[in-house]
Each structure stands twice: as structure tokens, then as C-alpha cells.
Amino acid sequence: MQDTPTPAVAHAPVNLFAEPTPLGLLGLAVGCAALIPIAFGWSLTPAAFRTAAFYCLYFGAGCQFIAGIMSLANKNLLGGTLFTTFAFNWLMNYQTLAGLAEGRLPDPHIILSVDVIFLVIFVVLTYAFGFFSKLLFAFLLDIVVLFACRILKELTHAPVFALPIALATVVLAGIALYLAFAILVNSAAGRPVFPVPGPLFKAAGPVAAH
């Protein structure tokens, strides 16, 4: 999730850290994996909520927060903003699941209001990542679908949206793993072992100064 590269110039700043994107993506995949049994209704016990909560905290929130801060330090504005923002969303997942384990339900009106804001955020970020890769666009689009289904499920109280939410979680974990493997393995092999398609949109050239 690198921002548009700039031409090499003398004394160009060197990244402070190695590419942190795989860390954030792997943490996301592990967090999603912890949520899948709950999303499909396979395990809805206090122990399941409590266990998933800690995976959301350590991997979903922890890995993405570290990756976000490192990305921002590397001048990767788009990737750093996405990871850091999403990290705090995983903290909320942790708090919600930990509360459910103790029989405490979150206020649905607050959750709905925040989900609407997240939907707007991810719609815009989906468009932005379309300038880098079709797969990144699909990755963000899956998040948009997930939040849209969450909102519709709360508004209609229809259980039919539970399955799309669960499937979107599986797809999110799968794309995250593929992207992480692509960055890690392709750079080690020096060839596209995991091919990543190019941009969906073509960015305009730099605006001339007047």
C-alpha cells in the first residue's frame, strides 16, 4: 500500500522502517479468522467471545497500529491512515466482544452511527486505492460491503444479512493473506510468484504550478 513513488533525487529521504504492510495485513487476517466462527454462528459462548476479543486486540489492533505508525513514518499517507484508523476499529471489536463475554451489550444506536461514518470513510478510501491496484480496490470494496450489510442488518433487524457479513469476513481474510504473501514472497523471489494486478484507475499527472 505504497503512495505514488517520487522520482529519485539526490539526498532523497530513506524509509525509516522496512515495508510494514504485510504485518498489518497478516494481523487483519488473524483477527478475521478469530471472528469467523462467531460470524457463522458456530461458537457463541462467553469463552468464544473472550478468546476472539484477545485476537482482535493483539493481532487486529496491535499489528495494524504498528503497521500504520510505521507507514506514516515512511511517508505512506494512504496506507498509514488506513491501518491506523482500522486499528482503533479493532480495539472496538475487542471491547465489544469482551463485553459480550460478560453479558454486557453495546448500545446499537451508537454502533449504527459509527458504522455509517466508517462506510463513508471506506467508500472514499476504496476509490483512492483503485489508483494503485485492482486487488486493493477489491480489498476495500469488501470492507464496504461488510459495513453496508452491518448497517442494513441493524436497520431491518433481518437475519438474512448475517451470512453476507460472515462471507465478507472470509473474503477479507483471504485477500489480506494474498496481498501479504505477494509483498513478502515476490520481494524474496525477485519475481511475481503472487501476481498483483495493476491500477483500476489512471492517476493524472502532477498539476503544474502557476
Is the pLDDT score of 189 beyond 90? Answer: yes
Is residue 93 a part of any domain in this protein?
yes
- Nearest-angstrom CA–CA distance, 20 and 109: 35
Grid cell locating 128: 483512492
User: How does pLDDT run across 11-46, given as a tens digit for each residue?
Assistant: 445 788 999 999 999 999 999 999 999 999 999 999
Domain count, the chain: 1
Identify the pLDDT of residue 192.
92
- Nearest-angstrom CA–CA distance, 128 and 75: 16
Please list, in sequence order, all residues whose beta carbon lies within 8 angstroms of the beta carbon of residue 35, skipping any fewer than 6 positions away. Answer: 52, 56, 93, 169
Contact 201, 161 (CB under 8 A): no
Least Cα distance to 32 among 12, 3, 52, 14 occurs for: 52
Is residue 86 a part of any domain in this protein?
yes
In eight-state DSSP terms, residue 11 is T
Is residue 158 a part of any domain in this protein?
yes
Side chain identity at 130, as an amino acid letter?
Answer: G
User: How does pLDDT run across 98-146, given as a tens digit for each residue?
Assistant: 999 999 999 999 999 999 999 999 999 999 999 999 999 999 999 999 9
Phi first, then psi, for residue 191 (nearest 5°) are -155, 160
Identify the pLDDT of residue 12.
46
Is the pLDDT score of 210 beyond 90? Answer: no
Identify the pLDDT of residue 204.
80
- Give the range of the structural domain holding residue 120, as residue numbers without chain letter: 21-189
Least Cα distance to 163 among 58, 1, 55, 40 occurs for: 40
Is residue 106 a part of any domain in this protein?
yes
In eight-state DSSP terms, residue 75 is T
Is residue 195 a part of any domain in this protein?
no
Is residue 184 a part of any domain in this protein?
yes
Is the pLDDT score of 63 beyond 90? Answer: yes
Is residue 54 a part of any domain in this protein?
yes
Average pLDDT of the residues in 180-192: 95
Least Cα distance to 21 among 197, 191, 195, 183 occurs for: 183
Is residue 55 a part of any domain in this protein?
yes
